Amino acid sequence: MPPVEIGAVMRGYSAARVLFSKSSIAQPGDIIHAPTGWSEYAILAESEFEPMSHFPELGHPKDMIGTMGIVGLTAWLGMTLIGDPKPGETVVISAAAGATGSIAGQIAKIRGARVIGTTGSDEKCEWLKELGFDEALNYKDPDFGKKFVEATFIVGGEILDLALGQANLNARFVMCGQISVYNNGKPYPYKNLNHVTLMRAKMEGFIVVDHMDRWGEARAELASWIKEGKLKTTETIVKGGLKVAEQTLLDIFKGINRGKLMLELKNPDESPLKL
């Protein structure tokens, strides 16, 4: 029989409460940002977690894995280091009602760009307009392709291909994921990749952990925008703990969420367990 792996944990970050500690930077009862995976308990080295003191003023621990966590950092890095939108430019955000897209679009607006978001329902389109997006398009609309061309004047899969076809000279494509093609089993047959050359475009992918030296700067600016009312934050919290973890993961691909989708293992306002 092949060996069986015991205790494998789905990767992921959490806002976790410390129950026991030998660390000088976290005491029992503290909330930390940590790569615990999807688990009720985890043992971590001091180098693996961040104490709450590393974050700007937080209204709630969920912000550690929301706007101030990986998704907010990804949006900030993509817009700041790679996309760098300028006033008057047009920015297209795919999966715009999701965790990263909803923040990235607002950052582009803050920087003066005209922002178009694509999402999977008319309801989410209305929500994106509430966030300040100039245009919001439902990619399930039978006339989506036509409306996209009209809206752009000039995240993967069909939307990326349409955007390539509409690219202006020196366009920038920021690639941080392609959720629409993750489960297809085969690559999407792009028809407009030649426009990268024709339009002298830049297409760059990145992973948020490659730029940890900028996390402090990113969090400070994100926090200032929230305080000034320029950036709105939203999350969808699923209760039920690990019993509903599998369904929650599947629901990401169904687009049930607005903003960050979080799984609550324990209400942070409740008293912590004691070991």
Q: Are residues 38 and 100 in the same domain?
A: no
What pLDDT is recorded for position 244? 93
Q: Are residues 77 and 17 in the same domain?
A: no
184 within domain boundaries: yes
Taking the CA atoms of 270, 227, 64 and 248 in sequence, report the sign of the dihedral they define.
positive
What pLDDT is recorded for position 105? 97
Domain with residue 192: its CATH number is 3.40.50.720
Q: Are residues 122 and 153 in the same domain?
A: yes
- How many domains are contained in the chain? 2
Q: Are residues 45 and 100 in the same domain?
A: no
Q: Which domain holds residue 34?
A: 1-54
Per-residue pLDDT tens over the stretch 90-144: 999 998 999 999 999 999 999 999 999 999 999 999 999 999 999 999 999 999 9
Return d(Cα 117, Cα 92) in angstroms, integer: 6
Q: Are residues 29 and 80 in the same domain?
A: no
Distances (CA, A) of 108 to 48, 56, 229, 267: 32, 22, 15, 34
Q: Are residues 8 and 110 in the same domain?
A: no
Residue 88 CB contacts under 8 Å (≥ 6 apart), including other chains: 112, 113, 114
Q: Are residues 120 and 191 in the same domain?
A: yes
Computed over its alpha carbons, how large is the radius of gyration of the chain?
20
Q: Are residues 127 and 180 in the same domain?
A: yes
What pLDDT is recorded for position 155? 47
Q: Are residues 142 and 40 in the same domain?
A: no
- Which residues on neighbouring strands pair with residue 84, listed in sequence order? none
What pLDDT is recorded for position 272? 65
Indicate the residue among 166, 189, 209 that finishes a domain.
209
9 within domain boundaries: yes
Q: Are residues 129 and 199 in the same domain?
A: yes
Per-residue pLDDT tens over the stretch 145-197: 899 888 887 545 577 788 887 888 888 888 876 665 555 666 677 787 787 88
Average predicted confidence (pLDDT) for the chain:
86
Tokens of 195: 């426009």
Maximum Cα interatomic distance, the chain, rounded to a whole number of Å: 63
Q: Could you give the percent of the chain with pLDDT greater than 90?
A: 56
Q: Are residues 85 and 190 in the same domain?
A: yes
Q: Are residues 36 and 160 in the same domain?
A: no
What pLDDT is recorded for position 6? 43
Q: Are 230 and 110 in contact (CB under 8 A)?
A: yes
248 within domain boundaries: no
270 within domain boundaries: no
Per-residue pLDDT tens over the stretch 220-264: 999 999 999 999 988 999 999 999 999 998 888 888 888 899 999
Length of the chain: 275
260 within domain boundaries: no
Return d(Cα 13, Cα 215) in angstroms, integer: 15
